[in-house]
């Protein structure tokens, strides 16, 4: 974590420190690896391209800041301690300037894979990786109740408008699919060119069994998201050194029921305020490319497995 702390200090000195929103925990800015267009990872569930991402950009159940764990259970089994026999993972993020995409990867062990489109537990009853994306770092609210606006039309328009909050779940199951933008009624966001891919994972296991799982995916972000159509929405232009807000929750449902939900939501930053409130999420900086860490066309065979999975 030392490099992250150094980075956080450096950013502050440059006058780029985060505004007074979206900073859980206070004082930490995490890094988003830049994927140059020449080296985009292939969305196929083989996550070996991500081996080039430095260790200090990966997060695990043991990642700490100021002596505190970064992922803490905020719903369900609140107070649960890390138990890698129940859930273990590593994850990180990437971005691409030209395509204005955020990429994600995670690698997970779970004693009970829960993906049956519902059942007991919380957060829809299935295992998921939830992202609340505040692309312009406005600290906005994602969820509104029926009484928050005068008309139903306004309520629907404002849910997910400035932050987009989705549970990503695999495999994709009808009717909601793999990218459940639960605060919005949008139906068009879960396909290219807005997000991808329903099948870019490798699951060794099945519902209600022990499982290992790797997945990689991407999404665009929105400055103004209109559930009705992309034409009415304003896509975000991601730029180097920008600070974005990401609210990450790793959801572990373990095939529970009403009497024993067996549900834990591990939230990065450990804070929960409302549903999708951007002031409780975490700061990330879109890092410059580190071309020296990326393979070239003349690299030796040790890069072969990585080169083979890059796009031209």
Residue number, 186 or 197, with CB nearest to Ca ion: 197
Which residue, 63 or 88, has its beta carbon nearer to Ca ion?
88
Closest chain position to Ca ion (CB): 119
Q: Which residues bind Ca ion (CB under 5 A)?
A: 41-42, 44, 46, 86-87, 110-112, 114, 116, 119, 125-127, 252, 254, 309
Between the CA of residue 262 and those of 9, 207, 251, 265, what are the distances in Å? 39, 15, 11, 10
Q: How far apart are the C-alpha atoms of 159 and 154, rounded to whole Å?
A: 9
As measured in angstroms, the least distance from the Cβ of 77 to Ca ion is 10
- The nearest distance, CB 87 to Ca ion, in angstroms, is 5
Question: Rounded distance, CA 98 to CA 103, Å?
Answer: 13
Sole residue written with tokens 């939830």: 130
Taking alpha carbons only, the member of 182, 162, 180 closest to residue 171 is 180
Q: SS3 of 293, please?
A: helix
Please give the Cα distance from 99 to 96 (Å, whole number): 6
Which residue, 119 or 160, has its beta carbon nearer to Ca ion? Answer: 119
Least CB distance to Ca ion at residue 261 (A): 10
As a whole number of angstroms, the distance between CA 64 and CA 285 comes to 18
Residue with token string 């970064």: 70
> Which of residues 61 and 278 has its CB atom nearest to Ca ion in the complex?
61
CB of 216 to Ca ion, least distance (A): 5
Q: How far is the CB of 118 from Ca ion (least distance, A)?
A: 6
Name the pairing type of β-strands 282-286 and 29-34. parallel
C-beta closer to Ca ion: residue 19 or 117: 117
């Amino acid at each position: 974590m030392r490099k992250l702390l150094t980075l956080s200090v450096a950013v502050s000195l440059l006058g780029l420190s985060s505004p007074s929103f979206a900073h859980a925990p206070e004082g930490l800015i995490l890094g988003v690896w830049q994927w140059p267009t020449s080296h985009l990872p292939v969305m196929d569930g083989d996550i070996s391209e991500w081996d080039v991402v430095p260790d200090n950009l990966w997060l695990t159940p043991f990642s700490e800041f100021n002596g505190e764990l970064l992922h803490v259970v905020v719903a369900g089994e609140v107070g649960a301690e890390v138990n890698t026999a129940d859930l273990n993972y590593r994850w990180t993020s990437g971005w691409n300037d030209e395509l204005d995409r955020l990429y994600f990867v995670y690698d997970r062990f779970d004693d009970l894979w829960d993906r049956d489109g519902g059942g007991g537990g919380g957060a829809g009853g299935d295992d998921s990786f939830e992202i609340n994306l505040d692309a312009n770092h406005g600290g906005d609210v994602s969820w509104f109740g029926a009484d928050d606006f005068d008309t139903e039309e306004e309520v629907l328009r404002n849910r997910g408008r400035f932050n987009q909050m989705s549970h990503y779940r695999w495999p994709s199951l009808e009717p909601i699919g793999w990218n459940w933008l639960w605060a919005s009624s949008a139906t068009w966001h879960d396909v290219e060119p807005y997000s991808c891919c329903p099948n870019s994972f490798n699951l060794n296991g099945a519902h209600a069994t022990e499982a290992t799982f790797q997945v990689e995916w991407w999404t665009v972000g929105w400055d103004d998201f209109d559930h009705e159509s992309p034409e009415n929405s304003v896509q975000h232009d991601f730029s180097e050194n920008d600070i974005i807000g990401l609210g990450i929750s790793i959801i572990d449902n373990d095939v529970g029921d009403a009497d024993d939900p067996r549900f834990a939501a591990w939230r990065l930053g450990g804070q929960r305020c409302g549903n999708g409130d951007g002031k409780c999420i975490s700061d990330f900086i879109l890092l410059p490319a580190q071309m020296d860490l990326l393979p070239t066309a003349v690299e030796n065979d040790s890069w072969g497995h990585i080169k083979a999975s890059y796009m031209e």
